[in-house]
Amino acid sequence: MKTDIEIARAAPKKPIGEIGEALGIPAEALLPYGHDKAKVGQAFIDGLAGRPDGKLILVTAVNPTPAGEGKTTTTVGLGDGLNAIGRRAVVCIREASLGPNFGMKGGAAGGGHAQVVPMEDMNLHFTGDFHAITSAHSLLSAMIDNHVHWGNEEGIDVRRVQWRRVVDMNDRALRQVTVGLGGVANGFPREGGFDITVASEVMACLCLARDLKDLERRLGDMIVAYRRDRSPVFCRDIKADGAMTVLLKDAMQPNLVQTLENNPAFVHGGPFANIAHGCNSVIATRTALKLADYVVTEAGFGADLGAEKFMNIKCRLAGLAPSAVVLVATVRAMKMNGGVAKADLGAKDVEAVRRGCANLGRHIENVKGFGVPVVVAINHFSGDADAEVEAVRAFAETQGTEAIVSRHWAEGGRGAEALARRVAAIADADVANFAPLYPDDMPLFEKVETVAKRIYRADEVLADKKVRDQLRLWEEQGYGHLPVCMAKTQYSFSTDPNLRGAPTNHSVPVREVRLSAGAGFVVVVCGEIMTMPGLPRVPSAESIRLNDAGEVEGLF
């Protein structure tokens, strides 16, 4: 059997100009990066404003196994399937982070016969967007300490600098550092630390901004520190917002690539799915909606996190409304949710699948709660027993929801045609009546409770006085209208990764809250979150190299 990278390398790519042309993008509006990648020019995007929008389809998933359930693969497969049945569809997914690829084996864009190419580039520098974000973030970092060094006119309390530095690499030694050592010329010593670039608020701002003006405003709104009187110091006060926008002007333009079947895909932006909202950029999604009849996109983690944030953050802030949701389920994930240990997932166990379907059922109910019709895609794995697959299908039917087996991994778009037909029919029927889960003017803590009770089915939210006071203070400062961005484990509806299935009688403890005033949400941390990963004992980097044919080995 061929590996993903072998399939990807064997696929004949079309020149990116032809992919753009098929979408109606003229050659001069495409900024090529090599022959198989291009950015779509801002002026062309501006000119699309008057056009009607296509249908937006979200691909999300049940609570996953550690290997993932193939959300991206299904997103790509559905896109190809829609094109295969003669519909004009574009796929919108996130860009990959560079650093983690050097820790564990990387990061493909889909898998099997449902992939986006060029895969090597997408797992390395791609079009440089993340480097631009790192640069913009680093400029602000330097300007903050430089401001303090030269007199600190804004009165920054150096003990309360919120802005951490970033690097796009898994570098555990940088998690906590002391900077400014070495004497007068190097500034004032203080504690600080580095996150990985995808965790930068600059990333979240870029992904939620409508255009460069909106981006500049969001960057300016970011809080970088507090004064002794606890009043916030904004990025705008440090006067970094203009130059950061200049550094991001190319990165703000969506990247066009293609699927293995030469259908268009936008790959743009990649905010962390925990301390940020985990969706591709608003500008890519909005541009795609102007160019295609169907836009298939995905959100990070399971539907309890990804779909919830997609609806309550991205759609709310960008004025988007999905027409349908595809909920990806696998036999393996149902077994795991049914209590089977990871090592035993390969063995046939129909009863476990049936037990695990409780997880699927709750996700179906949750998604319907947003007013959007849902269809279940059973992402078919070669080891799945027919009876197991049938158990999932039959369960979905009991929930009033169709479940369709999709074989895009093995067969590409052709294998997803049945799914594509059903999704197109639902979207065309215009039955969605989307609404976010809570209104803007609900108090922040009530927003947290709403998500915890209605999505996680928790009994209560536990938060100490400090957290509650902080939320109230932000409300007083004018941030009460923001949505909340939940950070919790992806493996359970609850905050305990071992509580599989559809747990009840649990509580959601809030450890900490953080304000992303530029991106426009309040991060609610329920558990440990890691904003700077480390490398393992034997990093995959040790075996990554160019072979004699000039091909990358060991990255995939």
Binding region for ATP: 65-72
Q: Which one among 3, 433, 504, 543 touches its own copies, defined by CB under 8 A?
A: 543
Distance CA 170, CA 539 (A): 10
Q: Which one among 48, 85, 243, 321 touches its own copies, defined by CB under 8 A?
A: 243
Query: Is 108 near its own copies (CB under 8 A)?
Result: no
Instruction: List the structure tokens of 9.
Output: 């390398």
Q: Strand 177-179 to strand 156-161: parallel, antiparallel, or no bridges (unpaired)? A: unpaired
Strands of 294-373 (E only): list them: 294-298, 324-329
**Residue 71 among the catalytic residues:** yes
* # residues contacting its own copies (CB under 8 A): 73
Q: Which of 60, 73, 259, 287 is catalytic?
A: 73
Query: Is 481 near its own copies (CB under 8 A)?
Result: no
**Smallest separation (angstroms) from its own copies to the CB of 141:** 7
3-state SS, residue 473:
helix
Encoded amino acid at 392, one letter: V
Nearer of residues 435 and 541 to its own copies, judged by Cβ: 541
- For 439, residues 6+ apart whose C-beta sits below 8 A from its C-beta are none
Nearer of residues 61 and 169 to its own copies, judged by Cβ: 169
Distance CA 31, CA 149 (A): 41
Binding to its own copies in span 183-242, by CB under 8 A: 185-187, 191, 193, 212, 216, 239-240, 242
Q: Which of 37, 39, 55, 71 is catalytic?
A: 71
**Smallest separation (angstroms) from its own copies to the CB of 508:** 25
Q: Return the closest-CA partner of residue 178 out of 193, 165, 168, 163.
A: 193
**Smallest separation (angstroms) from its own copies to the CB of 142:** 4
How many of the other CB atoms lie within 10 Å of CB of 41?
Answer: 17
Q: Pick the stretch among 72-80, 107-115, 409-417, 534-542 that binds its own copies (CB under 8 A).
A: 534-542
Q: Which one among 246, 425, 429, 431 touches its own copies, defined by CB under 8 A?
A: 246
Query: Is 158 near its own copies (CB under 8 A)?
Result: no
Please give the backbone phi and psi of residue 415, each rounded to the nearest 5 degrees, phi first: -70, -10
**Residue 259 among the catalytic residues:** no
Whether 381 contacts 363, CB under 8 Å: no
Binding to its own copies in span 401-440, by CB under 8 A: none
Nearer of residues 321 and 541 to its own copies, judged by Cβ: 541
Distance CA 188, CA 179 (A): 8
**Smallest separation (angstroms) from its own copies to the CB of 245:** 6
**Residue 150 among the catalytic residues:** no
Instruction: List the structure tokens of 395.
Output: 């369960």
3-state SS, residue 163:
coil
3-state SS, residue 371:
coil
Binding to its own copies in span 166-185, by CB under 8 A: 167-182, 185
Q: Return the closest-CA partner of residue 65 out of 473, 529, 500.
A: 500
Query: Is 159 near its own copies (CB under 8 A)?
Result: no
Q: To 5 degrees, how large is the angle CA 271–CA 272–CA 273?
A: 110
Nearer of residues 179 and 385 to its own copies, judged by Cβ: 179
Cis omega (within 30 of 0) on the bond before 12? no
Q: Which residues of 489-514 are buried (b: 16+ CB within 10 A; e: fewer)?
A: bbbbbbbeeebbbbbeebebbbbebb
Nearer of residues 343 and 549 to its own copies, judged by Cβ: 549
Binding to its own copies in span 137-156, by CB under 8 A: 138-139, 141-143, 145-146, 149-151
**Residue 445 among the catalytic residues:** no
Nearer of residues 184 and 343 to its own copies, judged by Cβ: 184
Whether 289 contacts 260, CB under 8 Å: no
Query: Is 162 near its own copies (CB under 8 A)?
Result: no
**Residue 73 among the catalytic residues:** yes
Instruction: List the structure tokens of 132.
Output: 């631009």
Query: Is 537 near its own copies (CB under 8 A)?
Result: yes
Distance CA 195, CA 204 (A): 14
Nearer of residues 159 and 172 to its own copies, judged by Cβ: 172
**Smallest separation (angstroms) from its own copies to the CB of 421:** 39
**Residue 301 among the catalytic residues:** yes
Binding to its own copies in span 35-74, by CB under 8 A: 35, 42
Q: Which one among 61, 76, 93, 132 touches its own copies, defined by CB under 8 A?
A: 132
What residues are annotated to the active site? 71, 73, 94, 105, 273, 301, 381, 409
